[in-house]
Chain A
Amino acid sequence: MEQARLSARQLFMLAILFEHGSAMVIPLGVDARQDVWIAILCGMVFGGMLFLVYYRLFTYYPAVPLTSYSQQIVGPFFGKGIALIYVLYFLYIAARVLRDFGELLLTFAYPETPLFILNAVMMITVMYATYKGIEVLARTGELFFFSLYLTAFLGLALVMMAGLIDVHRLQPVLEEGWKRVFKVVFTQTLYVPFGEMVVFTMLFPYIHQPEKAKIVGCLSMFLSGINLAVMMATNIAVLGADTVSRSTFPLLNTIQEIRVANFLERLDVLFMIALVVGGFFKISLFFYAGVIGTADLFRVKEHQRLVYPLGLSVLLLSIAIASNFSEHIKEGLNIVTVYMHVPLQIVLPLLLLIVAAIRHRSSRFFFTKQEKSKRG
């Protein structure tokens, strides 16, 4: 752990940037067609429940990150195992998001540039941020929070001014009933981006006012859920469910539709800002969690030492995980969800919580007994 303190507001903004991160640009949950916004909102609700699990764990161990308290809960041996799994998970997801990011950039603007170069440039930035520590990242987050929101509002205003929104495209609501929605929720939107809040188990110990952690988490998830739902609904209202479900980047297509006053058109740069800034924060937080976790696990005093070796591994991993985009996406939807997101975002935290709860109860029981015996 670094010597750092984050205010509740900073954590809130980081969480928002993190949630929006890549979810903003990818076709999030588009299998639900025009009901995608419902799927996102449902994902948000269930994600919020998961978050309460993480939060409860934090209240038991407010001073240390997940990698430390896992050892306190299930003992050093299993605890270290769990911590290691989480560290690898964070680094792997960082590599995945980096790959996503590189692929998106490649398809839409730099078809001839090698993926490695684009990823490397991003990774250098991420490594610099991690090297500087969480406080610097949080402050940068505050600055970009506003610029990103400004960009988003500008984009939305332009879409409206261009008269592109046709609300009828969102109809029929729940065409195939709740089944399709829930299928999307439990295979996609719950885990990305809401379940990924598990990263914040590594960041909560930094919070200056621990009592605000709950409200910070819930509020940020609520707000980003609403934002993402509004955004995907806008995409569908502009493009139609069919185009959105076939598109690699619905947001880009929506922005490309904008034509206002004959010169405000071709605003791809807005999309690029969202992509780079969002991608940067998402990768940075995952990577930072991985680095801090490693430092915590192996008792490395200065996490800065780990930045270069781990950064390089993440970069190489991002290239190596798949040979083409389709394979990458397929892996993400099938393998990662089943073998990583479900156990690490839901099962393990729940198990840890149960064990921790039992331990706490028994220890409290134990203490009260001791006190009684003393008095007696």
Chain B
Amino acid sequence: MWFQWKKQLKKTTKRNEQSGQEKNGINRTVESELQRNIETVRNTTGNSVDVVIRRFLLGKEEGIPAALLFVSGIVDEEMIHQFLLESVVQLTVPSSYCREEALVYIEQKIAAAGKMKRIKRWSELFLALMSGEVILLIDGVPEALSVEAKGGERRAIEEPVTQLSIRGPREGFTESLATNVAMVRRRIQNPHLWLEAITIGEVTQTNVSIMYIKGIASDEIVEEVRRRLQRIRIDGILESGYIEQLIEDQTFTTFPTVYHTERPDSVAANLLEGRIAIFVEGTPFVLIAPTVFIQFFQVVEDYYARFDIATALRFLRVLVFFISLVAPSVYIAATTFHQEMIPTQLVIAIAAQRESVPFPAFVEALMMEVTFEILREAGVRLPRAVGQAVSIVGALVIGQATVEAGFVSSAMVIVVSITAIASFATPSFAIAISARLIRFLLMVLAALFGFYGILIGIVLMTLHLCSLRSFGVPYMSPLAPLILSNIRDTLVRFPMWALTERPRLINQTNMVRQGNDQRPKPPNQPEKEGDNH
């Protein structure tokens, strides 16, 4: 079976290669005759109405036949007008120039446009056209000029929806890669902030960019990220989630090994720690690699708030994670195996509630947990107005009526509610959802073996977590393997001046974040601030 499957795989890859070559069938170069070029464009795009072909005569005087190609909606119309105005009305191509040189002349002379590029191949031309550039074709010139004019309607910068903060910048990423990159650039104004572009997706030709700070990020990891991205052969990338799943170290795990964020300040902070950001066109979610487990319990606000508060909150978050992981299974284990561990008064109270419950505790817990998951899922997808109705039904029907009817004990409802709240209080949705999956596994183990089952489950989970790596970095670092200098920013956060080192990932050279004498002092002593690397 395995063999057959492999064979099939080979076939598919071959077919892919073939189709790639077919596409390269338009590997021809641009011809000199304008009319034929236009026809080629028409044929290739299937006369799509949004591909605008604007013919005009170039130059003030005699006028050379030329055409401007662009896809309406994704280009900046304003700029096209400017361009046209300049090239048609004001431009005079000196007669001494032959037609071939007209293109060069225009490239040098016209100031209205930004980036310009001469293109010979059709494949390049179409790529430029489809990504929102304007193409100038001149009759008699076997070359095209592409002019950067990306624009069109886009969502404005808004507050990030998934990662709100009380203190901190209010802007979140948008769907535009360029805007997103700019937002980070504005935060790190340094020439060493490098950006590499790569196009992924045989069909979608999606722009993907890798961003890192040269000299801080480890070259090895940058190379690894680059290699993994280049290896991707897929028809389309519609969201950074595609990339995440194609570059992660291990697929069969519920834990996310690549972090994603909507916040530019979070990206900037991670870049400064030597991590690498992957921007994908068309999504506000930026990937960050390598990622360690503890990152999912940290939020940018930890660094904006004072250290004691941040530390307390981090402890709370880990506690919350554990509650959301084990609360229902502990309830099952305690009420069906280890009744001796519950204080007498409490066990009698719980027993009284359970007198009329017709299900075993495991079924009761499973029922309530599944109900809750259904409610949550329903609430996420529904329009806001209907969503409220769902929560009313959830609170009243599930919460109250089932207890009154005696289907479920109120202790169970309390447990489920605590679990639910805990699961929402986990800062990262990605980790909260993996906790939810594991929770069900632990419930089964608890129903089979009580606390022993839960403990075995936790040992297995820890083993699994310790076996994970993210781009070669152990997932549980700096806790396991323990890196003492990095413990300062994990479960605890030391005062800002004590965070002198960057997290150790792999083979970095530049580890020092700030000097050792950053501790603020009373005013009679000179005080230094900021981090200069």
Is there direct touching of A and B in the complex, by C-beta distance under 8 Å?
yes
Residues of A at the B interface (CB closer than 8 Å) are 7, 9-10, 105, 109-110, 113, 118, 121-122, 125, 128-129, 132, 136-144, 263, 265-269, 272-273, 276-277, 280
Question: Is the contact region of chain A dominated by helix, strand, or loop, or is it mixed?
Answer: helix
Interface centre among A140, A144, A273, A280 (most CB of B within 10 A): A140
The contact sample of 16 A-B pairs, CB cut-off 8 A, is A109-B451, A121-B456, A125-B456, A129-B463, A132-B466, A139-B476, A139-B480, A139-B481, A140-B462, A143-B476, A265-B343, A266-B341, A268-B341, A269-B451, A272-B451, A272-B455
Question: In the complex, which residues 318-343 of chain B have their Cβ closer than 8 Å to any Cβ of chain A?
Answer: 337-338, 340-343
Q: Is B479 an interface residue (CB 8 A)?
A: yes
Residues of B at the A interface (CB closer than 8 Å) are 337-338, 340-343, 449-453, 455-456, 459-460, 462-463, 466-467, 474, 476, 479-482
CA–CA, A202 to B408, complex, Å?
A: 54
Q: Is A144 within 8 A of B481, CB to CB?
A: no
Interface residue from B449, B452, B480 paired with A143 (Cβ < 8 Å): B480
Interface residue from B338, B449, B462 paired with A269 (Cβ < 8 Å): B338
Interface residue from A7, A110, A140, A267 paired with B452 (Cβ < 8 Å): A110
**A110 with B481: in contact, given A129-B463, A136-B467, A263-B343 (CB under 8 Å)?**
no
Q: Is A128 within 8 A of B338, CB to CB?
A: no
**Residues on the A chain within 8 Å of B456, using CB:** 121-122, 125, 276
**A143 with B459: in contact, given A110-B452, A268-B341 (CB under 8 Å)?**
no
Q: Is A143 within 8 A of B338, CB to CB?
A: no
CB distance from B389 to the nearest CB of A (A): 41
Q: Is A266 within 8 A of B463, CB to CB?
A: no
**Residues on the A chain within 8 Å of B453, using CB:** 121
**Residues on the B chain within 8 Å of A141, using CB:** 480
Interface residue from B343, B455, B459 paired with A266 (Cβ < 8 Å): B343
CA–CA, A269 to B341, complex, Å?
A: 8
**Residues on the B chain within 8 Å of A122, using CB:** 456
**Residues on the B chain within 8 Å of A272, using CB:** 451-452, 455
CB distance from B494 to the nearest CB of A (A): 18
Nearest 10 interchain pairs by C-beta: A139-B480, A139-B466, A142-B480, A276-B455, A136-B467, A132-B467, A140-B466, A266-B341, A136-B466, A143-B480
Identify the closest chain B residue to A105 (Cβ): B452
Q: Is A266 within 8 A of B449, CB to CB?
A: no
Q: Is B452 within 8 A of A109, CB to CB?
A: yes
**Residues on the B chain within 8 Å of A266, using CB:** 340-343
Q: Is A144 within 8 A of B338, CB to CB?
A: no
Q: Is B463 within 8 A of A132, CB to CB?
A: yes
Interface residue from A128, A138, A139, A142 paired with B460 (Cβ < 8 Å): A128
Identify the closest chain A residue to B460 (Cβ): A125
Identify the closest chain A residue to B484 (Cβ): A9
CB distance from B158 to the nearest CB of A (A): 40
Interface residue from B342, B449, B481 paired with A7 (Cβ < 8 Å): B481
CA–CA, A373 to B456, complex, Å?
A: 64
**Residues on the A chain within 8 Å of B459, using CB:** 125, 140, 144, 276-277, 280
**Residues on the B chain within 8 Å of A276, using CB:** 452, 455-456, 459
Identify the closest chain A residue to B330 (Cβ): A269
**Residues on the A chain within 8 Å of B466, using CB:** 132, 136, 139-140, 143
User: Given contacts A125-B463, A136-B467, A143-B480, could you give 16 more A-B pairs where the C-beta distance is less than 8 Å?
Assistant: A7-B481, A109-B338, A110-B452, A118-B449, A125-B460, A132-B467, A136-B466, A137-B463, A139-B476, A140-B459, A140-B462, A140-B466, A143-B476, A267-B341, A276-B459, A277-B455
Interface centre among B337, B453, B459, B481 (most CB of A within 10 A): B459
